[in-house]
Structure 1
Amino acid sequence: MTAAYTLYAKPGFASTTIERLCSEARISNRAFYECFGGREELLQALHERCVEESFAYVTKALQEAPDTLDGRVEAGIRAYVEFATADWRRARIMHLEVRRSGDVLTASRQRAVQSFARLVEEASADFPATASPSRRLVAIAAIGALQELLIEWLLSEEPPELDELVEVATHIFRQSLGGT
């Protein structure tokens, strides 16, 4: 898993063979196949671990946040951005390789987005609804915006500062959810 964490982040999932994974991990191909059915299964396990850890980190931040919509939005966004960017490999796996892997992680990615959308719905449920007909769809759209901001941070020659990412994402979520 450690070797894949680095190799799937760079040079990337598509460029990482099982032979390279095994060489980096100093295990035999046979040992690899005793644990995973293929490199796709390993990528899914890595992605799901990253999502579970980020979900727990954001949930904790929301529990400790001020009991206002703005307080919850800022705490949740800041926690997610801090967690995702604390390790560039995690950010790449969660936001680039998940898309570059084709259909391999489509279901896993969709489950992650749905889980975070439910978290946004729950965190904002006590506050007046927006004019939008669906808070869930608003949450999904705002999550998509945050993901694109993180991709910009990963790929840009002059990446935005993390505080700027938090500020912009917080603005998008607040406006979308009806905050100030």
Structure 2
Amino acid sequence: MIKGLDADQRRELRRQALLDSALELFARQGYAATTIEQLCQHAYVATKSFYEVFDSREACYRQLLIQITDSAFAAAFAAREESDGTEDGVARSLLESLARSFGTDLRVSRVTFGEGAAISLAVETVRRENRRAIAAYVEETWAGFDVPGTRAGLATGLVGGLLDLIADWSHGQSFDRTPDEESAQVVVLTALLTGFYDTLRAGMGSASA
């Protein structure tokens, strides 16, 4: 028992410890190869306590995916506030934020885009909800700047392309990166995302001309 904490606080600490372990183990050895017992051992949590927090290993993964997405959205909102407020400035701030969220810690991109594929319909539902939420945010941003050439489905295609670029990039990376190498790869990823966005955005302008 941790002194000074009530039951709910101790439960939250166990929950977060399990999510931290899930990030590490799912990323490095894969979802399918990671057991609940391994998660508990890594988190120093009793197996019985796991089921007081999560119904299953899949539920743990879904919560981890939600936590990653919430963190990425929070970073994006902060980046937008710090931008110069122009369409181009906002776009670049958001793309840089996306690259940092999924490129700084390789485990995040591996878990989000590589290790959870085809786990279940419930997991895929979370993935699709996240993509729709990002696409809706893009559409809202474009609407605020009266971006020409905007049409239904375009934001969804943009988001799918950006996320696929991150997934492809992450599978060419090693976990054994120095901080300098990490920073350099975030710059590379930012350039990939920005190049894709600029190409699509230029096409939108041409289509509306």
TM-score range, shorter chain: 0.7 to 0.9
Identity %: 25
For 1:118, give the aligned amino acid: A
Please give the residue correspondences for 1:124-139 in structure 2 after superposition, counting only pairs within 5 Å. 124-134=142-152, 137-139=153-155
CA–CA distance in 2 between the matches of 1:49 and 1:56?
11
For structure 2, list consecutive stretches of 5 or more residues without a partner in the other structure.
1-18, 175-180
How many Å separate the matches in 2 of 1:126 and 1:22? 47
Scaled by the length of structure 1, the TM-score of the pair is: 0.87
**Structure 1 residue 163 and structure 2 residue 187: aligned?**
yes
Question: Does the 8 A contact of 2:40 with 2:47 survive in 1?
Answer: yes
State which drifts further: 167-176 or 6-15. 167-176
1:60 partner amino acid: A
Which shifted more, 158-167 or 60-69? 158-167
Aligned amino acid, residue 150 of structure 1: I
Aligned match of 1:39 in 57, 62, 66?
57
User: 1:1-180 counterparts in 2 under 5 A?
Assistant: 1-134=19-152, 137-156=153-172, 161-177=185-201, 178=204
Aligned equivalents of 2:119 and 2:170: distance in 1? 17
TM-aligned CA deviation for residue 139 of structure 1: 1.4
| Unmatched segments (≥5 aa) in structure 1 | none
Alignment CA distance shift 1:157-1:122 (3 Å): closer
TM normalised by structure 2 equals: 0.76
Give the secondary-structure state (helix, strand or coil) at the position aligned to 2:117: helix
Q: Which structure has the larger Rg? A: 2
Q: Residues 65 and 112 of structure 2 are in contact (CA less than 8 Å); yes or no, is this contact kept in structure 1?
A: yes
Of stretches 96-105 and 119-128 in structure 1, the one that deviates more from structure 2 is 96-105
Q: Which has the higher contact order (CA 8 A, sep 6+)?
A: 1
